[in-house]
Homo-oligomer: A and B are copies of this chain.
Amino acid sequence: MIIRTAEILCVGTEILLGDIVNTNAAYLSRELASLGISQYRQSVIGDNSERLTQTIKDCLNNCDLLIMTGGLGPTYDDITKETAAKVIGRSLYEDAEVLAHIHRYFKKRGRHMTDNNRKQANVIEGSIVLKNICGTAPGVFCEADGKVIILLPGPPSEMMPMWQNEAKPLVAKYCDKVLVSRNINLIGIGESALAEKLGDMMEKATNPTIAPYCKTGEVRLRVTASADTRERALAMCLDTVEDIKATEVGKYIYGYDTTLEEAVVNTLRRKNKILSTAESCTGGLIAKMITDVPGASDVFFGGVNSYHNIIKNKVLGVSSRSLDKYGAVSHQVAVKMAEGVQALMNSDISVAVTGIAGPGGGTEEKPVGLVYIAICHNGKTTVKKYKFGHTLSREKIRELTAVNALTDVLEAIK
């Protein structure tokens, strides 16, 4: 059989209650796309045997491959394996090797293996057991009635390695097309303006397809081609990317297949520049984003989270006079913070942010959402004033501040 279509079914009442965000679906979706498998639907079902049974049947009618995550654990409400087995008319047996692995797992961690963990050693007859190197519950790869069912654990730290090392290689054998995507990253243009500038280029594109989507502070265009080989699909993508580059949106492009933080780290490395950060309202978020990128230490020495005025004064050398006269959230203090951290860390370029993330702390004159971002580079310090608006959440204001700070760094060194 050939796998062309798939559905992802995530099991867990905790998802339906909103206790956890379903990152597994996003991860597996990217993986399926890279294998050229079309996904028409994602579903989430609670730990309810009846509804789960119905949904599994429904999914198996609609697609070639059903990937389920969650509900493989030791507690009473973990019913995925039992329910899936019943639907395809298979029985469960206790796998000695899996049981031994679970014993080793607990022994290694000096923890006592409780009886309910034994349940996790049950696997579906006639299926391939998928090893769990990061946990106890094994996965299942099972072909039944011309369909493939894969069961993976819920915790992403267990699901991801199991998919990569165990399940993905098996699935790849069932694929005859390869899907390759390239993302074009743009700043300084809105989604609707982008759509208008590209005209019907987007609508007419079928293979490769061109799809726009927004991220905080930026817009992306995803070009996706389907072909028999990776090389061919990639070539088709790159041709379309060149076509888009040639249009008037070309000048808004800042990178390809990159995150903003990766673009900053890569550009700093290319320009051989060292960055430092001074953060107030973002309290470490900018440094965190930069150090999300492996190898960031080549271009980022460090930063100061000067959350309190005492630190702005004592560590960054912002004068008490400036803090009193202009206030912590001001053009002048942003300048001093950027120059202070640059002097302290002896970097080539520094970025400083100070603002009011809310929900409290806003005033008539300095409302929530007011942020100053300063860049100190080549002995010159420039400041931008942002008003993100008091209607946004604290989280959103901090995120927008960090994204704009990184964008300003990128523009300064470009």
Interface residues of A (CB under 8 A from B): 12-23, 25-33, 39-46, 48, 51, 55, 73-77, 111-112, 114-117, 133-134, 155, 157, 160-161, 181, 183, 190-193, 195-196, 202-203, 211-215, 220, 222, 224, 277, 279, 282-288, 290-292, 294-297, 300-308, 310-311, 314-315, 344-346, 358-360, 389, 391-396, 398
* A-B CB proximity, top 3 nearest: A283-B291, A284-B287, A284-B284
From residue A14, how far is it (CB to closest CB) to chain B in Å? 4
Cβ B20 vs Cβ A213 within 8 A:
yes
Cβ A16 vs Cβ B39 within 8 A:
yes
Contacts of A45 in B (CB 8 A): 40-41
Nearest chain-B residue to A183 (Cβ)? B19
Contacts of A389 in B (CB 8 A): 134
CA distance A55 to B287 in the complex (A): 43
Nearest chain-B residue to A119 (Cβ)? B192
From residue A311, how far is it (CB to closest CB) to chain B in Å? 4
Contacts of A191 in B (CB 8 A): 73-75
CA distance A181 to B13 in the complex (A): 13
CA distance A14 to B307 in the complex (A): 37
Cβ B44 vs Cβ A42 within 8 A:
yes
CA distance A44 to B39 in the complex (A): 10
Q: Could you list 12 further interchain pairs (A-B, Cβ under 8 angstroms) beyond the known A18-B25, A40-B46, A114-B195?
A: A16-B29, A18-B30, A40-B45, A43-B43, A75-B195, A111-B190, A134-B389, A284-B288, A292-B394, A305-B305, A310-B346, A315-B344
Q: Which of B23, B202, B315, B358 contacts A294 (CB 8 A)?
A: B358
Q: Which one of A19, A115, A116, A296 has the highest number of Cβ atoms from chain B below 10 Å of its Cβ?
A: A19
From residue A186, how far is it (CB to closest CB) to chain B in Å? 14
Cβ B288 vs Cβ A13 within 8 A:
no
Cβ A284 vs Cβ B295 within 8 A:
no
Q: Which of B114, B157, B193, B296 contacts A283 (CB 8 A)?
A: B296
From residue A214, how far is it (CB to closest CB) to chain B in Å? 6
Q: Which of B43, B157, B211, B296 contacts A77 (CB 8 A)?
A: B211
Contacts of A18 in B (CB 8 A): 25-33
From residue A411, how far is it (CB to closest CB) to chain B in Å? 19
From residue A294, how far is it (CB to closest CB) to chain B in Å? 6
Cβ A195 vs Cβ B74 within 8 A:
yes
Cβ A213 vs Cβ B14 within 8 A:
yes
Contact A73:B192 (CB < 8 A) given known A42-B44, A315-B302: yes
Cβ A284 vs Cβ B303 within 8 A:
yes
Cβ B305 vs Cβ A284 within 8 A:
yes
Contacts of A181 in B (CB 8 A): 17
Cβ B214 vs Cβ A315 within 8 A:
no
Contacts of A117 in B (CB 8 A): 192
From residue A22, how far is it (CB to closest CB) to chain B in Å? 6
Cβ B55 vs Cβ A134 within 8 A:
no
Contacts of A215 in B (CB 8 A): 20
CA distance A315 to B306 in the complex (A): 13
